Structure 1
Amino acid sequence: MLFRGWGESVDGPWPDAAAVVDHVGVPHLVVTRHALVRRLLTDPETFRPDNALDAVTPIPVAALRVLAGHRFRLPPTLANNASASHPEIRAIVAEALHPDRVAAQQPWLTDLVRERVTRLAAALAAGEPVDLYAGLAADLPLLVLARLVELPDAPVGAVKDFARAALELFWAPLDGTRQLALAAEVGRFHTVLRAFAATGGGLAARLRAAGHSPDVVVGALFFLLVAGQETTSQFLTLLLHRLAGEPAVRAGLRAGEIRVADVVEEGLRLEPPIVTWRRVAAVDTTLGEVEVPAGTSIVAWLARAGRDPAVVAAPGEFRPGQRGSRRHLAFGAGPHRCVGAHLARMEAAVVVAEAATLLDGVTVVRPPWCPDNLTFRMPDAFVVRRT
Structure 2
Amino acid sequence: MAAVLFTSWRGPVADPWPDLATVTDHLGVPHLVVTRHALVRQVLADPVTWRPENALDAVTPIPVAALRVLAGHRFRLPPTLANNGGASHPRIRAIVAEALHPARVAAQQPWLTGLVRARVDRLAAALDAGEPVDLYADLAADLPLRVLARMVELPATQTATVKEFSRAALELFWAPLDHDRQVTLAATVGRFHRVLRDFAATGGGLAARLRADGHPVDVVVGALFFLLVAGQETTSQFLTLLLHRLTGEPAVLAGLRAGTVPVADVVEEGLRLEPPIVTWRRVAAVDTTLAGTPVPAGTPVVLWLARAGRDPAVVADPAAFRPGQPGSRRHLAFGAGAHRCVGAQLSRMEAAVVVTEAAPLLTDAVVVRPPWCPDNLSFRMPDAFVIRRDRGRGGNPA
SS in 2 for 1:309: coil
- Equivalent of 2:164, from 120, 143, 161? 161
- Inter-partner Cα distance in structure 2 for 1:347 and 1:24: 38
- Inter-partner Cα distance in structure 1 for 2:2 and 2:373: 14
- Equivalent of 2:94, from 91, 95, 104? 91
Structure 2 counterpart of 1:353: 356
Whether 1:238 and 2:212 are equivalent positions in the alignment is no
Q: Is the 8 A contact 1:152 1:193 kept in 2?
A: no
SS in 1 for 2:3: coil
Q: Is the 8 A contact 2:40 2:308 kept in 1?
A: yes
SS in 1 for 2:303: strand
Please give the TM-score of this superposition, normalised by the length of structure 1: 0.99
SS in 2 for 1:278: strand
1:9 CA drift (Å): 3.8
- Inter-partner Cα distance in structure 1 for 2:379 and 2:184: 19
- Inter-partner Cα distance in structure 2 for 1:23 and 1:183: 20
- Inter-partner Cα distance in structure 2 for 1:153 and 1:190: 17
1:159 CA drift (Å): 1.3
1:5 CA drift (Å): 5.6
- Inter-partner Cα distance in structure 2 for 1:152 and 1:296: 42
Structure 1 counterpart of 2:149: 146
Q: Is the 8 A contact 1:4 1:373 kept in 2?
A: no
Give the alignment of 1:274-285 within 5 angstroms.
274-285=277-288
Q: Is the 8 A contact 2:2 2:175 kept in 1?
A: no
- Inter-partner Cα distance in structure 2 for 1:93 and 1:271: 26
Question: What's the CA shift string for 1:145-204, capped at 9, x where partnerless?
Answer: 011111255443321110000000000000000000000000000000001111000000
Whether 1:260 and 2:282 are equivalent positions in the alignment is no
Question: What's the CA shift string for 1:212-247, capped at 9, x where partnerless?
Answer: 011000001100110000000000000000001100
- Inter-partner Cα distance in structure 2 for 1:152 and 1:80: 27
Please give the TM-score of this superposition, normalised by the length of structure 2: 0.96
Q: Is the 8 A contact 1:239 1:267 kept in 2?
A: yes
- Inter-partner Cα distance in structure 1 for 2:234 and 2:146: 14
- Equivalent of 2:105, from 90, 102, 106? 102
- Inter-partner Cα distance in structure 2 for 1:292 and 1:173: 25
Structure 2 counterpart of 1:211: 214
Question: What's the CA shift string for 1:42-95, capped at 9, x where partnerless?
Answer: 100000001000001010000000000101011000000011000000000000
- Paired letter, 2:372: W
Q: Is the 8 A contact 1:132 1:237 kept in 2?
A: yes
Q: Is the 8 A contact 2:135 2:240 kept in 1?
A: yes
SS in 2 for 1:112: helix
Structure 1 counterpart of 2:396: none
SS in 1 for 2:219: helix
Q: Is the 8 A contact 2:35 2:307 kept in 1?
A: yes
**Structure 1 pair 344–10 and aligned structure 2 pair: CA distance change class (3 A):** same
Give the alignment of 1:18-29 within 5 angstroms.
18-29=21-32
**Structure 1 pair 152–58 and aligned structure 2 pair: CA distance change class (3 A):** farther
Structure 2 counterpart of 1:3: 3
Structure 2 counterpart of 1:128: 131
SS in 1 for 2:2: coil
Whether 1:313 and 2:331 are equivalent positions in the alignment is no
Q: Is the 8 A contact 1:4 1:372 kept in 2?
A: no
- Equivalent of 2:187, from 184, 188, 191? 184
- Inter-partner Cα distance in structure 2 for 1:317 and 1:344: 22
- Paired letter, 2:10: V
Structure 2 counterpart of 1:112: 115
- Paired letter, 1:196: F
1:4 CA drift (Å): 4.1
Structure 1 counterpart of 2:375: 372
1:262 CA drift (Å): 0.2
Number of equivalences: 387
Percent identical pairs in the alignment equals 80
- Inter-partner Cα distance in structure 1 for 2:3 and 2:332: 20
The answer for unaligned runs of 5 or more in structure 1 is none
1:210 CA drift (Å): 0.2
Structure 1 counterpart of 2:393: none
- Inter-partner Cα distance in structure 2 for 1:327 and 1:252: 22
For the aligned residue pairs, the C-alpha RMSD in angstroms reads 0.9
- Paired letter, 1:304: R
SS in 2 for 1:365: strand
- Inter-partner Cα distance in structure 2 for 1:73 and 1:113: 36
Question: What's the CA shift string for 1:265-306, capped at 9, x where partnerless?
Answer: 000000000000000001111111321110000000000000
- Inter-partner Cα distance in structure 1 for 2:113 and 2:204: 26
Question: What's the CA shift string for 1:5-50, capped at 9, x where partnerless?
Answer: 6244433320001001100111100000000000110100000001
